[in-house]
Chain A
Amino acid sequence: GAVVSQHPSRVICKSGTSVKIECRSLDFQATTMFWYRQFPKQSLMLMATSNEGSKATYEQGVEKDKFLINHASLTLSTLTVTSAHPEDSSFYICSARDSARSMNTEAFFGQGTRLTVV
């Protein structure tokens, strides 16, 4: 199947700093990518939909200025957690669908990024 690569897989940062997470579709193009946050023993919460060449669409309650999303090409979306705080510590996962295929086909997920803010 198609591969979505997420980097880094694990990062520890100090409070107040910013962290960038990359999500790449390796063998397909994705006009839309999705960013999720997963709390321990809980489900995936959709944070935002990343659209290539335009602004991301954020879910209700997600701070746009806190979680900056850039989708500069058809194979790369980035999530930047700005001025990180310990409560931002979580598992962040991206996903993407193949733009060349019809809607409602499977989405492919990255391996996830474990962010720890100390």
Chain B
Amino acid sequence: GDSVTQMEGPVTLSEEAFLTINCTYTATGYPSLFWYVQYPGEGLQLLLKATKADDKGSNKGFEATYRKETTSFHLEKGSVQVSDSAVYFCALSERGRDDKIIFGKGTRLHILP
């Protein structure tokens, strides 16, 4: 079945460091890909998405490119801030499959001032 694998955390970085959180997926069709963020004590918010190969999603300085050839959707940010500390989830949703969203296990990010 469909699945999402992302790097395990926690990831601890200093403020202004470069961030990469790896994500790869397995799907039978052509899924849409998402990154969601969960701040402490809150629900999930969509961070960015990409619906087809080579699309780049971006928001709040974060970027991820849909790479069909490597089945990847790595999350990057050039300069992280303390306020970026949260749990990040990579996810996919495949057309015609009840619109279910399949999540990775999440990566906890700590940014030190």
A residues sitting closer than 8 Å to B (CB atoms) are 1, 6, 32, 34, 36, 41-44, 46, 49, 57, 93, 95, 97, 103-104, 106-112
A41→B89 CA distance, assembly (Å): 12
B101 touches A95 (CB 8 A): yes
B106 close to A43 (CB less than 8 A): yes
Please tell me the number of chain B residues within 8 Å of chain A, measured between CB atoms: 25
- A6 partner, pick from B36, B43, B99, beta carbons under 8 A: B43
Residue of B nearest to A113 (CB): B43
B46 at the interface (CB under 8 A from A): yes
Total inter-chain residue pairs, C-beta < 8 Å = 57
B103 an interface residue at 8 Å Cβ cutoff? Answer: yes
Contact yes or no, B45 A104, CB < 8 A: no
A34 CA / B100 CA spacing, docked (Å): 8
Give which listed residue, B36, B93, B103, contacts A104 with CB less than 8 A: B93
Of the candidates A1, A34, A41, A57, which one forms a contact with B101 in the assembled complex, judged by CB atoms under 8 Å apart?
A34
> Which residue of chain B has the shortest Cβ distance to A46 in the bound complex?
B100
Residues of B within 8 A of A97 (CB): 99
How many angstroms from the CA of A93 to the CA of B32 in the assembled complex?
A: 21
Closest to A91 in B: B43
- What is the CB-to-nearest-CB distance from A45 to chain B, in angstroms, rounded to a whole number? 8
Q: Which residues of B contact A41 (CB under 8 A)?
A: 108
Distance between B60 CB and nearest chain A CB, rounded to angstroms = 14
Cβ of A13 to closest chain B Cβ, rounded Å: 20
